[in-house]
Amino acid sequence: MQIDPARHSNADNYKILTNVIVPRPIAWVTSVDADGLVNLAPFSFFNAVGSDPLFLVVSVGSRDDGQPKDTARNIRTGGDFVVNLVTEELLTAMNVSAADFPADESELIPAQVHAAPSVHVKSPRLAEAQVSLECRLHQTLALGPNTLCIGEVVMFHIADHLMGPRLHVENFAPIGRLGSPSMYCRTTDRFDLPRLSYAGWLKRGR
């Protein structure tokens, strides 16, 4: 079947896109508004895009009325944010934080999670997260109704039990986002496939 997005609604195209680009990591973003209120919200339009510098991107959609969401506004005005990764024991809390809470109410209390100090940015990380990435804002780009936030990772927080020899992160199993509206997956089913060089491919007889 061929599906031309120009002949379908935005809702249909979103459904198709999010059902085929899977799984997607979840950026559980903490940010701070001008009054110091901590905002917490999950986004699955998220990934790493560079290692030197250490860049990642989070795409934040607008509200239904076209206004920017709290996270996008906070990142623009505050200049930093923290990406916390969602593991299975935090799934319920993440889902609570996705609700449309008023801008003057922090999601931390209803989600029953706690802020912990960051090292290089003013936005806090989540104390309960096994992995958190402190980010300084590099740039924002307007992509239609979305705000693409490009952040430079300036500090890693990784639970001690995940760290193996030579900085290998072992047995980390974040939750992945699947299709709209509410499908997720675990990342515990894994296999190893070493990358081949061209010379190695030739040696194997193509």
Quote the distance between the C-alpha of residue 203 and its chain's center.
Answer: 40
Q: State the virtual CA torsion across 28, 34, 35, 40 in degrees, nearest 10.
A: -10
Residue 59 — φ and ψ, nearest 5°? -100, 125
Would you list the DSSP string of the chain? ----GGGS-HHHHHHHHHHHS--EE-EEEEEE-TT--EEEEEESSEEEEEETTEEEEEEEEBPTTSPBPHHHHHHHHH-EEEEEEPBGGGHHHHHHHTS---TTS-SHHHHT--EE--SSSSS-EETT-SEEEEEEEEEEEEETTEEEEEEEEEEEEE-GGGB-GGG-B-S--B-EE-STTT-EE--------PPPPHHHHHHTT-
Whole-angstrom distance, CA of residue 37 vs CA of residue 176: 28
Whole-angstrom distance, CA of residue 127 vs CA of residue 110: 15
Domain extents in the chain: 5-203
**Spans of the chain, pLDDT less than 50:** none
What contacts 77, CB < 8 A, 6 or more positions away?
33, 34
pTM here is: 0.94
Which of 170, 148, 151, 149 lies closest to 159 in space, CA to CA? 170
To the question of domain 5-203 being in CATH 2.30.110.10, the answer is yes
Which of 89, 135, 130 lies closest to 112 in space, CA to CA? 89
Q: From residue 143, give the alpha-carbon distance in Å to each of 38, 41, 58, 121, 148.
A: 25, 20, 12, 26, 7
List, for residues 128-152, the tens digit of each pLDDT value: 999 999 999 999 999 999 999 999 9
